[in-house]
Structure 1
Amino acid sequence: MTFFRCFCVLLILCCCNSKPNTEAEAIHVSVLRGPSAIAFAHWMKEAPVIDGKPVSVRIIDSPGLMQAALIKGEADIAVLPMISAANLYNKGIRYHLAGCPIWGTLYLAGRSGKEISGGNKPVLHIFGAGTTPDILTRHYLRQHKLDYTLNYSFTTAREIMQGLLAGKVDHAVLGEPFLSIALQNDSTLQILADLNRPDSASLGFAQTAILYAPALKKNQKTIDSLLNLSCRFAVEQPEQAIRILEKENIFASGMLTPESIERCKIDYKTASEAQENILRFLQLIGQYEPKALGGKMPDEKFYK
């Protein structure tokens, strides 16, 4: 009887010890809900392995929660707005900048026959005062010498989209996927301007950043290769990417289209490849809203 009990205890201990703690051993990737998640559909379908550990993607619902995760060191890799990455760096949160995966999702939309042009002063609805959409909108309008009145009464892109569809708004700045939803549901709406290009030859503005923890520095080449693969998957196989994102409940059915993904300008560039573009973008942000960067430009180490 004693032998039997000892055998049972030994068996239980062996079973417990043989079960790996995959959650603790995973590489935790935090991605803001929205266009950034599109670039990671491939990782959701087939979790890659970095340094012998599987990648686990978690969707974060707000920039505030993302910032908290980074401050607490809960994310090994994080995807967030470039201005937030620079701000956190200036606050002493020392993650490494891997690169930029998305080069712009912002568009000016309005009703046919009511295009913005010089000589009038339309009301333009926008959300997020002091954030990237607001800054790029003001920059575009200043560049093209357009007179305007910015209206911030709607606090989210969804509210602005609903205002457009209800006929309460004629001109608005929207990003994907809300732009595509609006265009699909109202044939009188059209894209009036692309706010994502500093000039016609440019890839776009380096609006999104991918950061990784210092412990992963030795895996930089592997990370870059996997990020490039994931971004190419979204661009080259958009229908599959959409199915994955819908299955994972990142986007509701019908929210995304291949055109939505195309308008997100997904193209992974490493920090060294994109450094000049990132610098120009952050200088532009600093010109309009220096507080968005924490009051100063990040130093050279930000790009290393």
Structure 2
Amino acid sequence: MTFLRCLCLLFILCCCNSPKKEAEAIRVSVLRGPSAIAFAEWMENAPEIDGKPVVVRLVDSPDLMQAEMIKGEADIAVLPMISAANLYNKGVQYHLAGCPIWGTLYLVGKPTKETSEENKPVLHIFGAGTTPDILTRYYLDRHKLDYSRNYTFTTAREVMQGLLAGKVDNAVLGEPFLSMALRKDSTLQILADLNRPDSAFSGFAQTAVLYAPALKEKQAEIDSLLQSSCRFATRHPEQAIRILETEGVFALGMLTPESVERCKIDYKPASEAKESIVRFLQLIEEYEPKALGGKLPDEGFYK
């Protein structure tokens, strides 16, 4: 009888402690995709912030991420810079830590066919009105390239499948779908790096790390941990890939060291990256102002 009572007491204690541990953790929400590569180290060796362990959670869409943030369920959130600016303009109270990802978008296709004014090459783009679409339009305008833009496919996976099925000749793809396509079809080539429209650009500040106001005093600690995590991914890509595959973030074989390199992972705090972020958001406003909620964020966004 005593033994059974002990078991029951142990069970009750375990049940009581689990929510407490979760409440004491720093909840980091990361969009499933290339952003997660920068956080592989945190998934295997969770650091601590203010003495609390970091728990990384994958979120499947920007809409779900926005819902989490509005409800205060994320202490740190990693999402597109466009979404971060939009949320700020809507009054969602998070601080901008910095930018960890500087570009994952490339123009990929097969050897150029002869074209004419009546027969323009078709370029398939996913995400109308979002970062892939805007950066593609900017690149084409800057280089005076005359493509007929096609938005039939709404996701990068669908675009990749179209390329591999021979239904698409030219397309915009990001990692990891770019590496998958290049590996499966050796006739495909990278035609342009959309993150570097010319030599003056090292990449666009496409991704944001935001943190809740309660962590304001810990910004220096957060910056240091983010820099460490990003360095781990770039210096040890094979280890980062192993972690991401073990954690089920990416399927076996989806990522390669080249995939990691093409994501341009390099964490820069907002104070250091401000000029690049402003330039990127100004570009977004020029092409798609509604993506930002109709206006550029004010100075409070960078503080």
Give, in whole Å, the separation in 2 of the partners of 1:114 and 1:41.
41
Partner of 2:136 in structure 1?
137
Percent same amino acid among aligned pairs? 77
Residue 91 to residue 116, structure 1, CA distance change in 2 (3 Å): farther
Q: 1:115, CA displacement in angstroms?
A: 9.3
Residue 13 to residue 158, structure 1, CA distance change in 2 (3 Å): closer
Matched, 1:173 2:179: no
Q: 1:16, CA displacement in angstroms?
A: 2.5
Give, in whole Å, the separation in 2 of the partners of 1:12 and 1:137.
61
Give, in whole Å, the separation in 2 of the partners of 1:116 and 1:243.
44
Residue 63 to residue 15, structure 1, CA distance change in 2 (3 Å): closer
Partner of 1:284 in structure 2?
283
Give 2:160's aligned amino acid: M
Q: How far does the alpha carbon of each residue in 1:108-152 deviate from its partner, in whole angstroms, 9 at most, with x for none?
A: 000124499999721000111100000000000000011111100
Q: Tell me the SS of whatever aligns to 2:99.
A: strand
Q: Is the 8 A contact 2:142 2:197 kept in 1?
A: no
1:19-58 aligned within 5 A = 19=17, 21-58=20-57
Partner of 1:81 in structure 2?
80
Give, in whole Å, the separation in 1 of the partners of 2:253 and 2:118.
38
The count of aligned residue pairs is: 299
Q: Tell me the SS of whatever aligns to 1:292.
A: helix
Give, in whole Å, the separation in 1 of the partners of 2:236 and 2:119.
42
Residue 120 to residue 268, structure 1, CA distance change in 2 (3 Å): farther
Q: TM-score, normalised by structure 1?
A: 0.93
Give, in whole Å, the separation in 2 of the partners of 1:276 and 1:170.
36
Give, in whole Å, the separation in 2 of the partners of 1:175 and 1:80.
15
Q: Is the 8 A contact 1:120 1:147 kept in 2?
A: no
1:204-219 aligned within 5 A = 204-219=203-218
Give 2:273's aligned amino acid: A
Matched, 1:226 2:225: yes
Partner of 1:16 in structure 2?
13
Gaps of 5+ in 1: none
Partner of 2:94 in structure 1?
95
Partner of 2:236 in structure 1?
237
Q: 1:104, CA displacement in angstroms?
A: 0.3
Give 1:195's aligned amino acid: L
Give, in whole Å, the separation in 1 of the partners of 2:235 and 2:121.
38
Q: Tell me the SS of whatever aligns to 1:73.
A: coil
Partner of 1:146 in structure 2?
145
Residue 124 to residue 94, structure 1, CA distance change in 2 (3 Å): same
Gaps of 5+ in 2: none
Q: Which runs of 4+ in 1 moved over 6 A?
A: 115-120
